[in-house]
Amino acid sequence: MITEVTAVNFRQNLGEMISQVQYRSDSIVINKDGKPVAVLVDAELFARIRRMRERFDALSRRIAEAYADVPVEQGMAEIDAAVVRERQPRKPRPKNRRPRERQPRKRQP
């Protein structure tokens, strides 16, 4: 569950909120002046987020290296074209089967 609290409320109830995160795996969004400024999450979730960020950074570096020699304008044009292609509605796949004609059954005496 995700709970939103003010910074003042968080400061006043820190111990209780740490227990809430630790034992119930809840997350707490801390707001200041009505805007989120921080989030308290359990250590396991934070470790997963950190690993995902490391993998994302590594992938970003590989992409940057692969396209280092491509002019920015050309790269952006390729990205824009790919986005347009992906956003187009997909055509339904044609059915390869034709309806089978029913043959009248022969009666046996």
Task: Tell me the C-alpha distance between 93 and 88, whole Å.
Answer: 15
Which tens digit of pLDDT belongs to each residue from 69-79? 999 999 899 99
Is 81 in the same domain as 57? yes
pTM of the model: 0.59
Question: And the tokens for 102?
Answer: 């029913």
How many Å apart are CA 58 and CA 53, to the nearest integer?
9
Q: What is the mean pLDDT of the chain?
A: 89
Boundaries of domain holding 78 = 53-88
In the chain, how many domains are there? Answer: 2
**What pLDDT was estimated at residue 45?**
94
Residue 19 domain flag: yes
* 7-18 pLDDT per residue, tens: 999 999 999 999
- Residue 39 pLDDT grade (very low, low, confident, very high; cuts 50, 70, 90): very high
> What percentage of the chain reaches a pLDDT higher than 70?
86
Q: Classify residue 101: in a domain, yes or no.
A: no
| Mean pLDDT of the 76-102 span | 81
